[in-house]
Amino acid sequence: MKTELKVEPRTLAGFMELQPSEQILFNQMADKIRSSYERFGFLPLDTPILELSEVLLAKAGGETETQIYRFKKGNTDMSMRFDLTVPLAKYVAQNYGKLQFPFRRYQIGKVYRGESPQKGRFREFYQADIDIIGDGELSIVNDAEIPSIIYTTFRELGFDDFTIRINNRKILNGFFKSLNLVELSPEIMRIIDKLDKVGKEVVTQLLIEIGLSENSVYKIIEFISIIGTNSEKINSLKELGISDDLFLEGVKELEEIVTYIKLFGVPESNFMVDLTIARGLDYYTGTVYETILNDYKQIGSVCSGGRYDNLAEYYTNKPLPGVGISIGLTRLFYQLNELKSIKAEKTSISDVLVISASNDIAPCLPIANSFRNEGINTEVYSGNKKIGTKFKYADRLQIPFVAIIGEDEVKNGTVSLKNLSTGEQKELNISEAIQLLKKDTLLK
């Protein structure tokens, strides 16, 4: 054996690479998200991971740009996508004439951000996005459908106790306009955002420190103190006595959306108006969403998004309003796994392992075939090993059934099918074995 110097096999920091059992679980989650998105009629899209830097970074700047994986190959300046929204904007602008609007698309794919690596932060991660894009206009009903999609998706993922928080940026923007604090609103929002963590008094203090008048601070505290049911909150908003048009439009939209969300079947226990959420500062222009798993509040929002006026303003003059959400699947998986909220239970894709008791593999092969032709995931143990080794392989991979073919079975035209979790073993003819395995396969 050569003992030459080897390269140490290793994976880049910040890049998730799973064990097979974890990968099975991850894929199950991705499949559930995909089928939920398809349940709502979203079309699939798969844009390249690499784009021209000029195109991808048309809008970017600041922190985003420093995180980009950007390089030249020959004369071409390319970048790896950092989200799925910019490629969507490019796609819709580029294919405008070919698409039907409202254009409903989902995309589940990897995106790249060269952040400083730290626990739970990934440089390569999956996003699972949906967006609905209108041509010039888009009904508010779509804003109400989004929570219904979030609800369906997280129910499919096995969660019951989660809250979709909803706000409308017009309310916030109109409110700040009414206080003549538009310029300061980003800073004020950053302070308000800390409310949950630091409490009302510290927020008051911080607002005074940035130079707000007593009256403004009072109004802001009054605003963020609004509590109650969704309708109570909306009524309180109306009673603030603010006459700003944008504010009133936001309140009206929020009221409508709340009505429609109920009609879309989302229980009141799973959504709430939360006047303090803003979701970034420039992009969203109307409804905004966050989703909190109530048993795991510490991981923050697991599905966020909102309404925007112009998807593709850097590529086209066509006004393309839209509404969308994103699930950061890699981070979600990582966090839930850390918290032991999900557990990789399946360590095998196979329903059955076919083994020879006599080390004559030949009779095993047509039987494996028969199983596979019936859609049963089937593996043949190919090695010439002791029967104990073969069973150990099935045990370690937790393959549910072992089909044993020995001299008797060959003579009788049967298989001995052993259920590894119950230990029960039966000699069955092939079609009986298929029946039993299919029953088990369907029950999964």
Of the candidate spans 54-62, 175-183, 223-231, 417-425, the one that interacts with its own copies by CB under 8 A turns out to be: 54-62
Beta bridge partners of 323: 132, 307
Give the integer Cα–Cα distance in Å for 268 and 266.
6
Query: Contacting its own copies (CB under 8 A), which of 120, 280, 375, 413?
Result: 375
Pick between residue 166 and residue 189 the one whose CB is nearest to its own copies: 166
Site for its own copies in 73-132 (CB under 8 A): 73-74, 76, 78, 89-91, 93-95, 98-100, 102, 104-105, 110, 112, 114, 123-124
Tokens describing residue 3: 């003992």
Pick between residue 245 and residue 360 the one whose CB is nearest to its own copies: 360
Give the integer Cα–Cα distance in Å for 433 and 437.
6
Give the integer Cα–Cα distance in Å for 218 and 241.
14
Q: Please, what is the minimum distance in Å from the beta carbon of residue 115 to its own copies?
A: 11
Tell whether residue 362 is a contact of its own copies (CB under 8 A).
yes
Give the integer Cα–Cα distance in Å for 406 and 409.
5
Tell whether residue 384 is a contact of its own copies (CB under 8 A).
yes
Site for its own copies in 292-351 (CB under 8 A): 312-317, 319, 348-350
Tell whether residue 46 is a contact of its own copies (CB under 8 A).
yes
Tokens describing residue 282: 């420039």
Query: Contacting its own copies (CB under 8 A), which of 84, 129, 131, 142?
Result: 142
Q: Please, what is the minimum distance in Å from the beta carbon of residue 244 to its own copies?
A: 25
Distances (CA, A) of 41 to 35, 104, 151, 319: 10, 7, 16, 23
Classified as helix, coil or strand, 246 is helix
Tell whether residue 283 is a contact of its own copies (CB under 8 A).
no
Tokens describing residue 36: 């939920």
Q: Please, what is the minimum distance in Å from the beta carbon of residue 339 to its own copies?
A: 22
Tell whether residue 41 is a contact of its own copies (CB under 8 A).
yes
Binding-site size for its own copies (CB under 8 A) equals 108
Q: Please, what is the minimum distance in Å from the beta carbon of residue 175 to its own copies?
A: 27
Site for its own copies in 182-241 (CB under 8 A): none
Q: Give the DSSP H or E segment for 224.
A: helix 214-224
Pick between residue 240 and residue 365 the one whose CB is nearest to its own copies: 365
Of the candidate spans 165-173, 218-226, 297-305, 365-373, the one that interacts with its own copies by CB under 8 A turns out to be: 365-373
Tell whether residue 438 is a contact of its own copies (CB under 8 A).
no
Tell whether residue 139 is a contact of its own copies (CB under 8 A).
yes
Q: Please, what is the minimum distance in Å from the beta carbon of residue 359 to its own copies?
A: 11
Taken in order 378, 381, 387, 390, the sign of the CA dihedral is negative
Give the integer Cα–Cα distance in Å for 371 and 369.
5
Tell whether residue 24 is a contact of its own copies (CB under 8 A).
yes
Q: Please, what is the minimum distance in Å from the beta carbon of residue 305 to its own copies?
A: 17
Taken in order 423, 424, 429, 433, the sign of the CA dihedral is negative
Q: Please, what is the minimum distance in Å from the beta carbon of residue 417 to its own copies?
A: 16
For helices 245-263 and 141-156, angle between their N-to-C axes, nearest 10 degrees: 50
Tell whether residue 366 is a contact of its own copies (CB under 8 A).
yes
Pick between residue 1 and residue 442 the one whose CB is nearest to its own copies: 1
Give the integer Cα–Cα distance in Å for 168 and 258.
11
Backbone angles phi, psi at 421, to 5 degrees: -85, -35
Pick between residue 294 and residue 373 the one whose CB is nearest to its own copies: 373
Pick between residue 184 and residue 397 the one whose CB is nearest to its own copies: 397
Pick between residue 89 and residue 273 the one whose CB is nearest to its own copies: 89
For helices 169-178 and 185-192, angle between their N-to-C axes, nearest 10 degrees: 120
Q: Please, what is the minimum distance in Å from the beta carbon of residue 253 to its own copies?
A: 14
Pick between residue 159 and residue 393 the one whose CB is nearest to its own copies: 393
Tokens describing residue 226: 């609004």
Tell whether residue 287 is a contact of its own copies (CB under 8 A).
no
Give the integer Cα–Cα distance in Å for 438 and 139.
46
Taken in order 391, 395, 397, 399, the sign of the CA dihedral is positive
Tell whether residue 389 is a contact of its own copies (CB under 8 A).
no
Q: Please, what is the minimum distance in Å from the beta carbon of residue 227 to its own copies?
A: 28
For helices 230-239 and 245-263, angle between their N-to-C axes, nearest 10 degrees: 170
Helices (H), 68-210: 85-94, 141-156, 169-178, 185-192, 195-198, 200-209
Classified as helix, coil or strand, 430 is helix
